[in-house]
Amino acid sequence: MEEKTPKSYQREKLKWAIASYILEMGALALFVLTYLSAILRSLLEKLFASHLIPVFIGYVAIIALSHLVLFFPLSFKRGYLLEHKYGMSNQTFGAWLRDYLKMTAVGWFSGFIAVSVVFYLLRRNPAGWWWQSAFVLWVGYIFLVHLTPVLILPLFFKFKRLEDRVILDRISNVSEAAGVRIGGIYEFNMSRMTRSANAAVTGLGSTRRILLADNLLYNFTPDEITTIAAHEIAHHKCRHMGKIITVNLILLFILLCGGYVIINYSSTAFGLRGPQDVASLPLLAFVLGMGSLFFLPMVNSLLRMFEREADRLSLIWCGNPEAFISMMQKLTSENLADPSPSPVVEFIFHSHPSAQKRIALALSFKECRPETQGDKG
């Protein structure tokens, strides 16, 4: 019988994530190479008398429905069966399915807008569509980040302002010491989905806020919660979100420029009629998917650097490495995280440093500053 350990859980999650990516890229490649993309476009042109808009909408709708049918078994395996196998999920199948369909609807809506923008610009300006698309999609990404805490997350969770005065006062003291104004601190019912604990800083401008999962508030001490909140405040202090948004703009320019070159080079292959052909869209999606994988290690390295910076500031502001260490140990246990993953796996796939490295940082901080709050208590 297979032993259910954090390492086996994370290994299975990674295995199915890689399988999903390979299937997606493989399906896109085969769809173009076997001329199916061109055949589908031609059939829709006959059906709609070559009217562009209904052909485009019909093409995108068929691709979206095919994607849903093809990937539902993998999504069910990853999101439901695997989570229940390791005791991480608190959801019935019905609850999971409702969330899955809502997430799919959100993805379809935002994806349709993005694809429509790219296709419109591609036909309107064949030479400059790629940089125009990058800029418009970047603006859309900023808009989405702004709306996420007030429009998208409430589809899945219930939010309310944090009422615990002890924790609120401690977090307020940290934010004042850091010189950071907090828009709001909210708790949400993450336990309806999972036994994992989490916290995040989300939103932009007037919607920016700190979110604390109810699992976190139930199972962690005020000192531990304060170190977590301080970590999130540090992200705000260091303007990490702004830096991530800037990096996304750079990546969009690079990826879409690559897409421009490749679909122009392949414009008449596989039954395609040129870059402006709706049947070329899967080829563009394939290029973007492969490019995203290429840049993944670099992006994750940057994100891990941001996390280390936030950890250091949390330790400095709270002055309580003991609470930081116990918090990391609890998070690792609650989330079935691998405390010491393979260096290769961490380099490519992890956006956070391993728990082992984060605890080592706290221990080095403790050695450098023995007179901490934890020692005095």
Q: Determine the straight-line distance between the first and last CA of the chain, rounded to whole angstroms.
A: 46
Confirm if 9 and 3 have CB atoms less than 8 A apart.
no
Residue with tokens 């005020």: 222
Any domain includes 182 = no
Any domain includes 371 = no
The number of residues making up the chain comes to: 377
Give the separation between CA 198 and CA 208, rounded to whole angstroms. 17
Any domain includes 345 = no
User: What is the pLDDT, as a whole number, of residue 192?
Assistant: 94
Number of domains in the chain: 1
SS3 annotation, 160-181:
EECCCHHHHHHHHHHHHHHCCC
Any domain includes 190 = no
SS3 annotation, 136-150:
HHHHHHHHHHHHHHH
User: What is the pLDDT, as a whole number, of residue 372?
Assistant: 46
Which of 78, 130, 374 lies closest to 252 in space, CA to CA? 130
Give, in order, the Cα–Cα distances in Å from 179 to each of 141, 160, 172, 175, 230: 28, 25, 10, 6, 12
User: What is the pLDDT, as a whole number, of residue 377?
Assistant: 38
Give the separation between CA 21 and CA 350, rounded to whole angstroms. 16
Spell out the per-residue pLDDT of the chain, length 377, in tens. Answer: 456 799 999 999 999 999 999 999 999 999 999 999 999 999 999 999 989 999 999 999 999 999 999 999 999 999 999 999 999 999 999 999 999 999 999 999 999 999 999 999 999 998 999 999 999 999 999 999 999 999 999 999 999 999 999 999 999 889 888 888 877 899 999 999 999 999 988 888 888 889 999 999 999 999 999 999 999 999 989 999 999 999 999 999 999 999 999 988 877 788 988 889 999 999 999 999 999 999 999 999 999 999 999 999 999 999 999 999 999 999 999 999 999 999 999 999 999 999 999 999 999 998 886 554 444 43
CA angle in degrees (0–180, nearest 5) for 77-78-81: 50
User: What is the pLDDT, as a whole number, of residue 299?
Assistant: 97
Any domain includes 11 = yes
User: What is the pLDDT, as a whole number, of residue 371?
Assistant: 52
Any domain includes 204 = no
Task: List all residues 6 or more positions away from 256 whose beta carbon is below 8 Å from its beta carbon.
Answer: 130, 131, 133, 134, 288
Confirm if 275 and 267 have CB atoms less than 8 A apart.
yes
User: What is the pLDDT, as a whole number, of residue 375?
Assistant: 45
Q: What is the pTM of this model?
A: 0.90
Residue 30 lies in domain: 6-155+241-301
Give the separation between CA 143 and CA 141, rounded to whole angstroms. 5
User: What is the pLDDT, as a whole number, of residue 129?
Assistant: 94
Any domain includes 187 = no
